[in-house]
Chain A
Amino acid sequence: MKNWKLRDIIVLSSLSVVFAVVYVLFLQVGNVLVGLMGPMGYEVIFGIWFIVSIISAYILQRPGAALLSETVAGTVELLIGNTAGPVLILSAFIQGLGAEAVFAALRYRNYSAPALMAAGAGSAVFSFAWGFIHSGFAALSPGLLLAMFIARIVSSVLLAGLLGKWIADALAKTGVLRSFPIAKTSRGQLSSKAEVS
């Protein structure tokens, strides 16, 4: 926390605030889908709830960005109308931890598309484990659980990893991120690939 610039923190918080609103909106979408197809309804769009950790980790490229942004988004969600309650902060923390673990395993150096997708999947795995305890998944049949797990992974890879990268790249193209680490990675795709390999 000490070596974070105030600018980075405020950018991270306002990203979290924006996506907290998106998260709450998608909760309603999820509720409709759940009404149609049971808990699977949430699983197909679950990835959207991890997107802020992907975007802010990619923009700031700092240890802790994924974890912090997801936790802040969870807290803000709580303030603006997610009725999951204060437990939501814990859930968000665990989801952020999943993405953070992947970025940490890559030593905070690799922010390529596969890395971002893997980070989304990391959140999915962590949040599923948490759902086991918190949402009483243990009462469901193993077949359904497996289907839910696969749906969640796929949705996280696509909705968090790929969509997150697309949004961050589109933002970088507008030029507002010129002074952030993403500018180095995102500007020329070719050079970044050469750097990674």
Chain B
Amino acid sequence: MLNVQSEKSVPVPRPRLLRLEELNPVIKGVTVVLCVLPLSLVFDPVTTSTALVMTLLVTWIFGNVSWRRWLLLFSPFLVLACGYFWTAAVFPREQPEPGSAILWSIGPVRVTAAAFQVALSLGLRTLLYSALSLLFMLTTDPVKLMLSLMQQCKLPPKLAYGILAGFRFLPLFREELSIMQRAHRVRGAGRIRRTPRSLLEALKRYGIPLLAGAIRKSERAAVAMVSRGFTGTGRRDFYDRIRVTWRDWAFMALMLAIVAFSCGFSYAMGTLRWYNGEL
């Protein structure tokens, strides 16, 4: 779960112009946010699906992403998208167009063509967002991201290394949990049943000791860091320099062009629908 990029196979050197894995993490993240913001304002299925297909193409062409992993992470969002689609189709806000044809109805439930359009775009939008973020997540190394945040965004080193230290505790938690479980078994503590009340009991029995351990470990780590001369103040140099190159800007331009193209394509098809004051 931790190693976002743990590819089992040895990476084959690919002489490619643009590799998602080698881009600057901060610029890549900012690009994804910049793509999401305008797309939040679009309410039609054509724009969203065009952008979705093109995002998939970018992931496929420029990224070295394991498709099994991608599908595994993407599939929950299919369920979520269906949920959104269902709610928005059946419980729309005011009928956007009063004369909209009724597509089908079961009893009191009826779905108009206009509501169907908006619902479809909401569902597709969920998929688009997750595709965009998988593009980021599956190609970004957590440590590089923190280093990049420190070097490009002036994130205070105290905080950045603090987060990395906390991040390193994660694998230890699993170990501690299994130790605790075994210790409970040795002492004959009862198994925890799966009712809401006993979930609270489980939280008390495992969650609190784990958190207490985390706090103890953090205090020790802080003492260790300070005693080794970590001041955490401003200017410092880095062993691993994360740079910004023209490739990062090229990637940003490419992604923004995709958003512009999707809107343009939808406009040409006459299906573009902006969010217009539906607050």
Contacts and interface: CB of A to CB of B under 8 A. Distances in A.
Nearest to A41: B83
B162 A136 contact: no
Interface string A134-161: 1010111111100000000000000000
B83 A132 contact: no
B180 interface: no
Interface residues of A, number: 58
Given A9-B158, A14-B169, A142 B93 contact: yes
Contact of B159 (A9, A14, A140): A9
B211 interface: yes
B219 interface: yes
A63 interface: no
Place the interface of chain B in its size category.
Answer: 35 or more
B62 interface: no
Given A10-B162, A38-B83, A38-B86, A138 B275 contact: yes
A194 interface: no
Nearest to A38: B87
Interface in A59-85: 68, 72, 75-76, 78-81, 83-85
Contacts of B2: 80
Given A80-B1, A136-B43, A9 B162 contact: yes
Given A4-B158, A79-B145, A140-B88, A86 B43 contact: no
B142 A38 contact: no
Nearest to A5: B222
B84 A13 contact: no
A81 B137 contact: yes
Contacts of B77: 83
A64 to B, nearest CB: 11
A176 B210 CA distance: 12
B264 interface: no
A19 to B, nearest CB: 9
A18 interface: yes
Given A35-B79, A136-B122, A85 B36 contact: yes
Interface in A1-26: 1, 4-7, 9-18, 21
Interface in B1-54: 1-2, 4, 29-30, 32-33, 36, 40, 43
B208 A34 contact: no
Name the residue in A87, A88, A142, A167 with the highest tally of chain B Cβ atoms < 10 Å from its Cβ: A87
A10 B163 CA distance: 7
A35 B163 CA distance: 34
A12 B204 contact: no
B267 interface: no
Given A6-B232, A136-B125, A87 B33 contact: yes
6 contacts: A13-B167, A14-B214, A85-B33, A88-B133, A90-B33, A136-B43
Interface of A: 1, 4-7, 9-18, 21, 27-28, 31, 34-35, 38-41, 68, 72, 75-76, 78-81, 83-90, 132-134, 136, 138-144, 167, 170-171, 174, 176-177
Interface of B: 1-2, 4, 29-30, 32-33, 36, 40, 43, 73-74, 76-77, 79-80, 82-84, 86-88, 91-94, 118-119, 122, 125, 129-130, 132-134, 136-137, 142, 145, 156, 158-159, 162-163, 165-167, 169-170, 173, 203-204, 207-212, 214-219, 221-223, 225-226, 230, 232, 275, 278-279
